[in-house]
Copies of this chain bind each other. A is one copy, B any other.
């Protein structure tokens, strides 16, 4: 039996790649998707998700709209300079008649946690608002979930939207703190590893010639995304933020250095707001788990993600019953 996965995302360019990766992964079964504010509005992200699923002929996966605002404050407007105005690099994906389900994302997650009690895995690649709302509605959720794998935070590298804070966490620090503080095991995939895993132009070109339309769409969306990373890497390429979290959740990529350590999210209004405060003291001689720490911090992976990612995405076949996409 494949493992049931709930995917929470703010569909974005790299979220799109993570989604395609999950669809291409025989180890798991995508049983529901929630949309959240972040790279784009929750509504725009859900639109992108529905269209990508339609491209893959996977309209069977229920998609729920989630929170468009963080627990404190309001949606900040997204990151059009990174992901494009529509979140997917300004590429056009055909509209679909598919609609989100009536439940909101938190209720979908709660329902799935009962349906797959003790088996459900959560992969979260946006702000953690929907997860926090679900925990707030029913704190026992944490007991029914096997693991939360979240892309977010920065431990020993600079942040990306403040000197210290990474965007997913910083867009809702209070929600992230609630998720870290809950009793479920969390695997946190921070900028430390996501920025160290890069997809290059030759990888992208392979995606653009894939058989599966969703993979070609991801390759096309990356064109815009690559421009953003020129300042970071000095060449057109991209970090693999959300795809790395997806691959670690699935098991396609293994963590090499991933100590379980106390992780607290800074919810002050100071310069550290939104940072992940990870206690990494005493790790010079090798990774040391702190007894009772429920957050495992992925600081190094077994190998570079790009080859595995490309291979798996190219393994997706074109759906039989879909219209060909240019």
A164 surroundings in chain B (CB, below 8 A): 272, 277
How many angstroms between the C-alpha atoms of A233 and B285 in the bound complex? 7
Minimum Cβ distance to chain B for residue A195 (Å): 8
So how many copies of this chain end up in the complex? 2
Number of interface residues of A (CB under 8 A): 30
A159 surroundings in chain B (CB, below 8 A): 281
With A234-B285, A285-B234: A266-B271 Cβ-Cβ less than 8 Å: yes
Flag whether A292 is at the interface (Cβ < 8 A).
no
How many angstroms between the C-alpha atoms of A74 and B15 in the bound complex? 49
Chain B's closest residue to A192 (CB) is B156
User: Which A residues from 136 to 168 make CB contacts under 8 A with B?
Assistant: 156-160, 163-164
Q: Is A284 in contact with B232, judged by CB distance below 8 angstroms?
A: yes
Minimum Cβ distance to chain B for residue A29 (Å): 38
How many angstroms between the C-alpha atoms of A283 and B262 in the bound complex? 28
Interface string of A223-255 (1 = CB under 8 A from B): 000000001111000000000000000000000
- 22 A–B contacts from the bound complex (CB under 8 Å): A156-B158, A158-B279, A158-B280, A163-B262, A163-B277, A163-B280, A163-B281, A164-B277, A232-B282, A233-B285, A234-B284, A266-B272, A268-B269, A268-B270, A268-B271, A268-B272, A270-B270, A270-B272, A271-B272, A271-B277, A272-B275, A272-B277
